[in-house]
Amino acid sequence: MRAGLLRHRGAVERRTLTASDEGGYTETWTVLARAQMRIQPIRGREFLESNQMRADITHKIQMRATQQYSITPRDRIVARGRTFQIEAVANVDERDRMIEIMAKEAL
């Protein structure tokens, strides 16, 4: 993918739970990595195809793959004040160069 298409700067965050003094857990989000990404709303045919998998997927996010971390559906993406819950992660063409993330925007 051309670098010009990766025009959004965002962060991949991972949720961690820490035990609190009251016996419960406190949820915190830690930045796993900051990266350039392409964030596209799903429309038309893509929406119909993704709707067969999950009705709540609203965006497709593409970014360069890296060996430093592994993104999972337990993570989230924060970009431009918006939060995206990751639903699925795919290695584009199994080449370890780009990953494609199907996500829903958290309101």
Domains and CATH numbers, the chain: 3-106 (2.40.10.270)
Rg (C-alpha) for the chain, rounded Å, is 15
Which pLDDT belongs to residue 10? 96
Are 37 and 79 in contact, with CB atoms under 8 Å apart? yes
pLDDT in the model for residue 20 = 85
Q: How do beta strands 8-19 and 98-106 pair? A: unpaired
Read off the pTM: 0.79
Which one-letter amino acid corresponds to residue 15? R
Tell me what the pLDDT averaged over the chain comes to: 85
CB within 8 Å of 37: residues ≥ 6 apart: 6, 8, 9, 10, 61, 62, 63, 77, 79
Of 15-29, 53-67, 68-82, 90-104, the least confident: 53-67
Instruction: Give the pLDDT score at 1.
Output: 57
* Model confidence at 103: pLDDT above 70: yes
